[in-house]
Amino acid sequence: MATFETLPQFELGWRDLSCEQRATFRKVVIEAFEPDLTAPHRPFRPALRVRQISGHADVFEMTWGDDGRATFSYRAEREHGQPHVIWRQIGTLSNWSRKLAE
């Protein structure tokens, strides 16, 4: 099983999410992201839209739910043979657009 940790910016975004959005994110991580992450023989499923962030070689973005986005990066394994993910930011596309405009 993969290991995860969160950065303070992720925690701030997490608090802005509704209970329903949090539940959707958890479900996507458990049912899609983690199984794809731990299956090195195949890429992430297209619905997650995992992509590298331009200009940041080690930062990736994924889609969760209709409007949700989260960024993450990989770090050294904490458990042998298991990926370790740092969740960097989370939010909705509309929230991120609003914050960029501020």
Query: How do the domains of the chain map onto residue ranges?
Result: 3-101
pLDDT tens, residue by residue, 70-90: 999 988 777 777 889 999 999
Nearest 5°: phi and psi at 68? -80, 145
CB 83 within 8 A of CB 2: yes
Give this prediction's pTM: 0.86
CATH topology for the 3-101 domain: YaeB-like fold (3.30.2310)
Gyration radius (Cα) of the chain, Å = 13
Residue 58 has pLDDT above 60, yes or no: yes
Contacts of 31 (CB under 8 A, 6+ apart): none
CB 45 within 8 A of CB 36: yes
